[in-house]
Amino acid sequence: FRVVYKNNDIRLELSRLARIVDPKMKIQGDVVFKCENVATLDPISFETPEAYISLPKWNTKRMGSISFDFRTTEPNGLILFTHGKPQERKDARSQKNTKVDFFAVELLDGSLYLLLDMGSGTIKVKATQNKVNDGAWYHVDIQRDGRSGTISVNSRRTPFTASGENEILDLEGDMYLGGLPDTRAGLILPTELWTAMLNYGYVGCIRDLFIDGRSKDIRQIAEDQNGAGIKPSCNKMPGKQCDSYPCKNKGMCKEGWNRFICDCTGTGYWSRTCEREASILSYDGSMYMKVVMPTVMHTEAEDVSLRFMSQRAYGLLMATTSRDSADTLRLELDGSRVKLTVNLDCIRINCNSSKGPETLYAGQKLNDNEWHTVRVIRRGKSYKLMVDDDVAEGQMVGDHTRLEFHNIETGVMTERRFVSMIPSSFIGHLQSLKFNGMLYIDLCKNGDIDYCELNARFGMRSIIADPVTFKSKSSYLSLATLQAYTSMHLFFQFKTTSPDGFILFNSGDGSDFIAVELVKGYIHYVFDLGNGPNVIKGNSDRALHDNQWHNVVITRDNSNVHTLKVDAKAVSQVVNGAKNLDLKGDLYIAGLGPNMYNSLPKLVASRDGFKGCLASVDLNGRLPDLINDALFRSGQIERGCEGPSTTCQEDSCANMGICIQQWENYTCDCSMTSYTGTQCNDPGTTYIFGKGGGLITFNWPANERPSTRTDRLTVGFSTSLKDGILIRIDSAPGLGDYLMLHIEQGKIGVTFNIGTSDITVQESSTAVNDGKYHVVRFTRNGGNATLQVDNWAINEHFPSGNSDNERIQMANKKIPFKYARPVEEWLQEKGRQLTIFNTQATIRIGGSDRKRPFQGQLSGLYYNGLKVLNMAAQGNPNIKINGSVRLVGEVPSAGSARTTALPPEMSTTFIETTTTMSTTTTRKHRTPPTIQLKSPLITSPMFRNVPTAIPTEPGIRRVPGASEVVRESSSTTGMVVGIVAAAALCILILLYAMYKYRNRDEGSYQKFVLFIYITCGVLSFFALCSDSTALL
């Protein structure tokens, strides 16, 4: 084209002057003075937030320009981002921080922003006054010369000037259009770039991208990069995407650009259409989940959401914590309300206009054991707390808006260095914890991230925290005075068979007191605040001394409303007059001293202590350890709650555990459940296998390798993978026997080979890769096998036909009577050998060694008496752990796993046993497990017992029993004197032929047997052959 400037008196042919390099003209950039065909720049559509393309490095240095058109209806998205070389700079905290030059364009809340840092601080320029997410095309043009420049949107110019004196923008690496890669290794994301922090990718159209005057064929670039979620066109679909109601389970549908967006917050589900049930974590006051970030994080914007259920009025829900500062964003239950604390540690870095931590409250009476939804939205200084339908908003004072954190913690705060007051631990359930787009509970459970630690239990579990048993009515203890002057929130659980008994008592100044007691099986709450005694009686449907756990909540608010809630039934009463409860002296639990019953206030009925179990005691936000924190103890008080039952009942053992009656009590065999504990309701040792693949390998010592005729295998698991190996057991090299538990096309099955061919038994009716917890049980008896998932129908496999017996009968017809017996015994022995899993050498867990890695959690693995995961947690020297494998929770107590290692001298027999474990788990102490051995069915004084199983035979159902372990004898048989070489050779040929030709057709088989018969006759060694029967 030709450029001419005309004025009244002047005409300047600017393009010609530039071409001849006139000294009045200044040329910047790469300018070619000839006509070229410009390629048609087709638009592209980014259809998902994860879609992006990479562009070459932008060589801008001192000046440069970028222009493009965009079109979308979505309010948020990162459009362009690129940064330079990392540089170490010191900030106000006198600490080294990695900073980079960067350039970015983002769409935030419908407005377009330019962000620029040239080494002296970030500027963030709002380029539009009105929303630009209305579905129309907008043209953006950015020009920069040194520190100054302009950004124009549809010709509306906004000037900008970068901070500092530097005029060079030093960039390295690719420029990203539409979003960022999933793996952001090597990327340094500025805290000011909120769309990157919040994981907002751009969804919409881009066209006519020019960088420094040169066009970029982004359609061809996307095609070359196989960009997923990118379409080479831009068409707005007619109608509304939400009209088809795509969001399930009450998810909220929002219109996006040619897509619907399901907001699953508060539903308990997730996925694109809110169809996948979110994982639940259960906390007992000592449990936590801690996400340890790979690097220190700095954010200025956060989106946080979670669901919780609790009967306690206090407890930590979620907190970000730092190892270097008091920075925190914390959510906790405080007096049955949700409290949000945001502390940016402004004092430590000498900020101006700081007033310390910011707090907001929302919701009320949230300790009702119902699900509640919490959301936090912060954008710089503005922040908002939403609990169900209650909304509270706040505005921070001061200019400091950066939050620093190393961890995201739930349940218990473990990073306490800069915390002045540690929040109470959480008892209850958490679900759907989402922080800046990351669903951390599910990511942790599924092994998608490697940087989380937890001992909280997955699943909606009954929570009995720190149970204590008061063995007699004269047993009691005392604690420090109950602090409940202006308000009160008490919670405890109890279990008893006695209809009456004192549970709690504290006296005070004057006539003030509080008492909780069980009277004829019903809870009474008795109190006096100075206006005379009152009693509130629980309105339970039936008496509560039924040997079941019951929940009690007692509250008093600032309006003097007293509430007693027992299980789901609540009674409230408004008391006029005095509002303060002035208590003094000890708080008595489960009873009183013998001389105190005579001086109890009116309306208190109990004259005996409480006999039974108490647990989860919460005294106005304080979780006491009833035994360790006791000022005084009297009588028999023990940790745990065994209960009075001494005989096996239908529900004595949970999760399909087997109840074993003893002389004075019973125990539960949990070996085939994947659970542990006295009643098989505690989760077994659990490992999470991550994305990168992991492997746990157990090697039997060379002289202790077992051979088994029957096997028992159990493991609990959860996964979303369609294919992977969970467990594989292999025999020694060269033998080829193996047993493998694996998932194929989402279906779980076991394949094994014990010397013949591969045999598979599979649960083919239902897929198990649904992310839910399943328990699979496998038993084998020779070639017979069973497989069961959870309590679904049992899958069985039995060998077809009876070929061995048919061959033996055929042989008997052709072989002289004197040879029939040794031949039959030899064939039967060979058949028995084909049912033995020989010389087992290794157990491999995780599948990564065979390129079929498992991802998810494995729990409570049991194989023929070996609890390999338990042994791995204890650091067994025969176990190696490689790759992305993470232990969940604490290391089990010593002695809870049992090995089958046998001394070298033990060999050659079948041995059986049953191992039963009884464990009491408490919050701060663990009772060591006890092991009780049943008498073996077959015993030998030389051999130690090993746990085993008996699978079913056709038409017969058996309770899983013990397995048989075979040790091969190394002894040799002496030569039989008197048998000549020819006779021995004849017999060997005969026996080998009988076995070798057992699978041939009947004609060939008969002919060969007849040939051997004639051969032996010719040699005339029949007499000698008959004498060799003993040899066989």
- Looking at residue 245, which CATH number applies to its domain? 2.10.25.10
1008-1017 as b/e, with b when 16 or more CB fall inside 10 Å?
bbeebeeebe
Q: Based on the domain organization, do 569 and 504 belong to the same domain?
A: yes
* Encoded amino acid at 657, one letter: G
The residues of the chain scoring below 50 in pLDDT are 92-96, 803, 890-964, 967-980, 998-1005, 1007, 1009-1010, 1013-1014, 1016-1032
Contacts of 328 (CB under 8 A, 6+ apart): 319, 320, 321, 322, 341, 342, 343, 357, 405, 419
| 334-377: pLDDT as tens digits | 999 999 999 987 655 555 555 668 999 999 999 999 999 999 99
Amino acid at 28: Q
Structural domain count, the chain: 7
How confident is the model at residue 984, as a pLDDT?
Answer: 56
Residue at 684 is within a domain: no
Round to whole Å and give the CA distance between 203 and 50.
Answer: 9
Based on the fold, state whether residues 332 and 397 are members of the same structural domain. yes
CA dist 169 to 44, 63, 79, 195, 475, Å?
Answer: 28, 8, 19, 22, 77
Model pLDDT, residue 1029:
37
Domain boundary among 618, 639, 660: 639
- Neighbouring CB atoms inside 10 A of 763's CB total 22
Amino acid found at 303:
D
360 and 288 both lie in a single domain: yes
Residues 954 and 880 in one domain: yes
Domain end point (choices 431, 458, 485): 458
Tell me which residue range forms the domain holding 318: 278-458
pLDDT of residue 806: 52
Q: Residue 135, Cβ neighbours under 10 Å: how many?
A: 13
Q: Residue 100 CB: number of other CB atoms within 10 A?
A: 21
Tell me if 800 is assigned to some domain.
no
Measuring CA to CA, which residue among 103, 105, 106, 99 is closest to residue 116?
103
Do 956 and 1003 lie in one domain? The reply is no
569 and 449 assigned to the same domain: no
**What are the CA-CA distances from residue 819 to residues 708, 822, 823, 983 (Å)?**
31, 6, 6, 13
Q: Can you tell me the distance from the alpha carbon of 272 to that of 283, in angstroms, rounded to the nearest whole number?
A: 28
Inside any domain, residue 209: yes
Specify if 661 maps to a domain: no
Whether 608 and 493 map to the same domain: the answer is yes
Q: Would residue 339 count as lying in a domain? A: yes
Is there a single domain that holds both residue 431 and residue 453?
A: yes
Q: What is the pLDDT of residue 41?
A: 72
In a domain, 820, yes or no: no
Give CA–CA dist 191/384, Å, rounded: 19
Token digits of residue 120? 């002296």
Do residue 51 and residue 180 come from a single domain?
yes
E strands present in 856-955: 856-863, 879-888, 915-918, 930-933
Q: What is the pLDDT of residue 648?
A: 86
Q: Tell me the pTM.
A: 0.76
Q: Are residues 215 and 283 in the same domain?
A: no
Q: Are residues 484 and 412 in the same domain?
A: no
Q: Among 597, 617, 639, give the residue marking a domain's end.
A: 639
> Does residue 493 sit in the same domain as residue 525?
yes
Q: Please, is 684 exposed, middle or buried when counting C-beta atoms within 10 Å of its C-beta (0-12, 13-18, 19+)?
A: buried
Instruction: Confirm whether 508 is domain-assigned.
Output: yes
> Is the residue at 858 inside a domain?
yes
State the CATH number of the domain containing residue 925.
2.60.120.200
pLDDT of residue 85: 84
